[in-house]
Amino acid sequence: MDEPSQQLVEFVVSARAVLIDPWELVGDGAVAIGGGRILHLGRRRAVLRRFSGVKEFSFQSHLLLPGLVNAHTHLELSFLAGKIPPPAHFTDWVLALMAAYPHAAGARKIIAAAAHTGAHQSMKSGVTTVGDISRYAAISRAALRRGPLRVVSFGEITALGRSRRRLAGRLRRAAAATLQSDWVTIGLSPHAPYSVEGPALKKIVEVAERRRLPLAMHLAELSEEREFLASLGGPLGCRWEFMRKMNLLDERIPLFAGGPLAWAGHYGLLNASVPLLLAHVNYVDQADLELLARSRATVALCPRTRHYFGHESRAPHRWRDMLARGINVCLATDSLASNPDLCVLREAQFVRQREPDADVQELFAMLTTRPARALGLENAIGRLAPGFRADMLAVEIPAKEPLSIRSALERIIRAAPLPAAVWINGRAIFDRAGER
């Protein structure tokens, strides 16, 4: 970008060091900010000399980091925090979730309050952007559209069997741009293989591509998805009391024997020309990995939610195999209905505790640059660089501790501290004195 003039710079934030991204650190650094963007970055003395007289906010015992990105969460489920104990099976959790959802008369107030609660908790933990799946998209978007959290709002769509006639209306509402704002970007989320049939998925992808809307879908989250797609049987199909009660299944649902990843490819999802995030992807084989490697999809791994549902004991997640094949993988929280908090840094901490040889720089990329790419925002967020949005956090670092990229990230991921300050779009959301 062009060199900024002094008049454009509103203030400077300086710190003991500025972490530009997981691979570059500027010691005794400073960031010049104006118009919600980073205008200049470099050594503190040079920045202050260049923009003399501009107000400085000094964090000399802190490390300045890019804002964290949580690419897969459900803010509207924050009203269920701590209310659903770990289930024996995923379907039990779904039943508990549906039973807890508010009735239509009270939904607006509860969902809006939950979205605010989730946004507030996210920001306090250093998350500045989220990919939010919303069943009640009109309510959550209205609650979040004035910021300050940056949100890609994926309107959730179901269309299976006898409910397929509702697809057009649900798709229209999910894609509505009326509540889009400087803070809220619209996306689409076909829910899952057991709630969206193939032809409906194809239609959703077509609309997303035509409107240039990002996509997100729960895929290969459950091992039982394969049986459901092949026969409509198993715990997700005709044996599930909930599915029988809803009376959704009919003979017009196309069967597919190749598993959820191949199914998604067959109906166009994996080849979508827009940003695509696949949530969980817990159960894959070699053929699935090859399909993913040929796609442009990002996989969102939610470690503590995997633990909550017991997936860890059934199959290890193949995130390392995915990275080795060039597949973009990020860390995410899922919701407070399956996770104790919405702090993505604690997801990295959880992974490192169980896999001590996991590379800390790669883990931090899975909180910043990689999820930014997943949401189609890799040229705006996820790193600190001129032209990028001024989304940042300051984390305290002991004065006597030697500072390098690896040592700093080792400490941050090990301790998962709450930030001392958070900025979004150049606006201070929290500082050392507390909430502004």
pLDDT at 435 over 70: no
pLDDT tens-digit map of 345-354: 999 999 999 9
β-strands 11-21, 24-34 pairing: antiparallel
Give Cβ neighbours of residue 377 (< 8 Å, ≥ 6 apart): 69, 129, 152
Which letter does DSSP use for residue 160 in this model?
Answer: -
pLDDT in tens, 235-267: 999 999 999 999 999 999 999 999 999 999 999
Domains in the chain (CATH in brackets) are 6-66+383-435 (2.30.40.10), 68-374 (3.20.20.140)
> Quick one: pLDDT at residue 2?
58
Q: Is 254 exposed, middle or buried (0-12, 13-18, 19+ CB in 10 A)?
A: exposed
Task: Report phi then psi at 113, rounded to 5.
Answer: -65, -40
Q: Helix (H) and strand (E) counts for the chain?
A: 16, 16
pLDDT of residue 434: 35
Q: What average pLDDT does the chain have? A: 95
Q: What is the 3-state secondary structure (H, E, C) of 217-269?
A: EEECCCCCHHHHHHHCCCCCCCCCHHHHHHCCCCCCCCCCCCCHHHHHHHCCC
Could you tell me the CA-to-CA distances from 59 to 13, 18, 52, 368, 397 in Å, in that order? Answer: 7, 10, 18, 21, 10
Would you place residue 430 in the very low, low, confident or very high pLDDT band (cuts 50, 70, 90)?
Answer: confident
For residue 404, pLDDT beyond 70 = yes
The whole-number average pLDDT for the span 396-418 is 91
Q: Residue 281 and residue 278: Cα distance in Å, rounded? A: 7
Helix H or strand E segment including 176:
none
Q: What percent of the chain has pLDDT over 70?
A: 97
Using DSSP's 3-state secondary structure scheme, residue 436 falls into coil
Q: Which residue do the tokens 């032809």 mark?
A: 199
The per-residue pLDDT for 105 is 78
Per-residue pLDDT band for 400 (boundaries 50, 70, 90) equals: confident
Would you give the distance in Å from CA 267 to the centre of its chain? 24
pLDDT digits (tens, 9 = 90+) for 343-386: 999 999 999 999 999 999 999 999 999 999 999 999 999 999 99
Look at residue 16 in the predicted model and tell me its pLDDT: 96
The answer, yes or no, to whether residue 4 has pLDDT greater than 80, is no
Tokens of 94: 């779904």
pTM: 0.96
Instruction: Using DSSP, state whether 144 is helix, strand or coil.
Output: helix
